[in-house]
Amino acid sequence: MKVLLLAFSRWQVKGKKNVPRKGPLIVVSNHLNNIDPPLLGASIPRDIYFMAKQELFEPRWVRAVVEGYGAFQVRRGGLDRKAMRRAFEHLQEGRVVDMFPEGKRSTDHQLQLPQLGAALLADRSGIPVLPVGIYGSEQMKGFRSIFNRPRITVNIGNPFLLAYTGDERARTRLNKQADFIMEHIAELLPESYRGGYNCRVRSGDVNGG
């Protein structure tokens, strides 16, 4: 993947020093293109296990490729307890699990409202969350795009922990935490990618990792 990125795009990674070199970690990122999982795998200096939609595992030859990237199935449209248990198991083994909080690719490259899975995993495990902003990968559309060598940036932020407030209802807490995660991702993106989270980016934060 690194060879392909270097050959057919102007790929850059910012903030690589922010990645803890050991210990469990939950990576969260916006999602623009099907290449985002292997793009993150090439950009983050850790072995990563990805939650991937169930449909990707149906063609047998595609399944072999997807599983080769460390992916495991998740059923979209609701809480997949089996997938969450698998994610917890990886974290308990000190591994890195990646989730796209939006739950699907953004068709207009704007940040979408999050699902609660990433917040639930971070809340229940107490494990650090590493936010990542991807921009430019949406330009990789079709064979012709590789000749334009689009600029693709992976901007890695600082890991953080979710704040726990025990006096709130679980769903209320998870909704706030999910938004908190998205705000951290938004800070790592240009304004044109932030969507409704642009107004929530803290003043003084500088995009660029």
CA-to-CA separations, 77 to 103, 112, 126, in angstroms, rounded = 9, 15, 25
* pTM confidence score: 0.86
15 occurs within a structural domain: yes
| Domain tally, the chain | 1
pLDDT of residue 165: 58
53 occurs within a structural domain: yes
208 occurs within a structural domain: no
d(CA 52, CA 104): 10
Structural domain for 18, as ranges: 2-200
131 occurs within a structural domain: yes
CATH code, 189: 3.40.1130.10
207 occurs within a structural domain: no
Structure-token pair, residue 154: 């992976």
The DSSP result for 41-107, as a single string, is HHHSSS-EEEEEEGGGGSSHHHHHHHHHTTEEEE-TTS--HHHHHHHHHHHHTT-EEEE-TTSS--T
Structure-token pair, residue 103: 């739950």
Half-sphere exposure of 49 (CA within 13 A, CB side): 20
pLDDT of residue 31: 96
Beta-sheet strand order (sheet of 151-156): 10-14, 151-156, 129-135, 25-29, 96-99, 48-53, 71-74
Q: What is the pLDDT along the chain (209 residues), one digit of tens a residue?
A: 899 899 889 999 999 999 999 999 999 999 999 899 999 999 999 999 988 766 665 667 666 777 666 677 777 666 778 888 999 999 999 999 999 999 889 999 999 999 999 999 999 999 999 999 999 999 988 767 777 899 999 999 999 998 765 556 778 889 999 999 999 999 999 999 999 998 887 654 444 44
Structure-token pair, residue 111: 């940040």
194 occurs within a structural domain: yes
Residue type at 128 in one-letter notation? P
Q: Are 183 and 200 in contact (CB under 8 A)?
A: yes
pLDDT of residue 144: 73
119 occurs within a structural domain: yes
Q: Return the CA Rg of the chain.
A: 16
Q: Are 102 and 114 in contact (CB under 8 A)?
A: yes
Q: What separation, in Å, do the N-terminal and C-terminal C-alpha atoms of the chain show?
A: 23
209 occurs within a structural domain: no
Q: Are 104 and 76 in contact (CB under 8 A)?
A: yes
Structure-token pair, residue 3: 């060879």
pLDDT of residue 204: 46
